[in-house]
Amino acid sequence: MDQKWLAQLPIEKIITWQPVGGGDVNQAFHLQTAQQDFFLLVQSKTDASFYQGEIAGLKDFQFARIKAPRVIANGQINGDAYLLLDYLSLTRSGDQRLLGKQVARLHQVASPNGKFGYQFPYAGTSISFANTWTDNWSDLFLKQRLDRLAQHLQKKSFWHQPQIQLYQRARQVIAAELAVHQSQPVLLHGDFWAGNFAFSADGQPVLIDPAVLYGDREFDIGITTVFGGFTPDFYQAYQHDLPLTKGYQQRLNFYRLYYLMVHLDKFGLSYAASVMNLLTAIIKNC
């Protein structure tokens, strides 16, 4: 990253630029011009299409009146993919009741074709998911997400036969529960941990870094419970506007399992015990 690289961006002359920390997928930078600030994401040696899912998700948020960064430009410079967004001055603290209401509103946006999935795949740096349109949530969640993760973990030698057998037993429980659960395909953030929301200067919640798909809304809620950062106000406001259905406490474990399997795949064996504990809990609670 240098001035020659930055000069090829489709914006006016950049006065200052500085790296922004906090993410683990992209290089991120705050750019300042005479007229406007920008937020730049860069994925080295990658095609510009890497960002097509995130771009579509941010535009879906905008259409649903969910506050999120606005897409300015996307392309490739010297073989590096980039995504240029408008820069928002954000803080991590704010009224989580408003956040709960905003997520409830997000989860009322129905799939345009009545199916589960998305128009673009999820492109990750460790593992990607196809998001192929399906008629039921179980097919997408089990076949396109959990099974793919299980295969990846086995290929990396993080899982061996005992872990695979435990996974297969838990998978049967998940499949049986999802077969009777009435899932509806609604717009999801897809990676909704505490690092992916903030608050604007006027106190409004802002959703960032989406991995959008149309799926069961409990997927997003389950992910919120893995690493914390969401207050009781968030859950109370969400439940007030869009109550979760009977049995959700058990099903949230399915989505905790997914998220911890993603972290096991990406960051290694420090997550192995947590994944095994969840697999065991799912089997015991059936």
Mind telling me the catalytic residues? 191
pLDDT for residue 23 is more than 70: no
Q: Provide the CA 205 distance to its chain's centre, in angstroms.
A: 16
> Mind listing the pLDDT tens digit for each residue in 208-243?
999 999 999 999 999 999 999 999 999 999 999 999
User: How many angstroms separate the CA atoms of 102 and 112, rounded?
Assistant: 20
CB 68 within 8 A of CB 61: yes
User: What's the pLDDT tens digit per position in 1-17?
Assistant: 688 999 999 999 999 99
Q: Decide if domain 10-87 falls under CATH 3.30.390.30.
A: no
Q: How many CB atoms lie within 10 A of CB 148?
A: 17
Quote the pLDDT of residue 1. Answer: 67
- Tell me the pLDDT tens digit for each residue of 52-99: 999 999 999 999 999 999 999 999 999 999 999 999 999 999 999 999
Which sequence spans correspond to the domains of the chain? 10-87, 91-284
pLDDT of 172 higher than 90: yes
Q: Which of 211, 218, 214 is nearest to 255 (CA)?
A: 218
Compute the CA torsion angle 157, 158, 161, 167 (nearest 10 deg): -140
Q: Report yes or no: 156 and 265 within 8 Å, Cβ to Cβ.
A: yes
pLDDT for residue 22 is more than 90: no
Q: What's the pLDDT tens digit per position in 37-48?
A: 999 999 999 999
Alpha carbon distance 234, 192 (integer Å):
13
The vertex-262 CA angle with 258 and 265, nearest 5°, equals: 135
* β-pairing verdict for 197-200 and 90-91: antiparallel
At 286 the pLDDT is: 75
User: Which residue did the predictor score with more confidence, 123 or 205?
Assistant: 205
pLDDT tens profile 264-285: 999 999 999 999 999 999 999 8
Structure tokens at 190: 């897809």
| pLDDT per residue as tens digits for the range 241-261 | 999 999 999 999 999 999 999
State the fold for domain 91-284.
Answer: Aminoglycoside 3'-phosphotransferase; Chain: A, domain 2 (3.90.1200)
Report the greatest alpha carbon distance in the chain: 60
Average pLDDT across the chain, whole number: 96
Contacts of 186 (CB under 8 A, 6+ apart): 106, 107, 108, 109, 110, 111, 214, 215, 216, 217
CA distance 237 to 221: 13
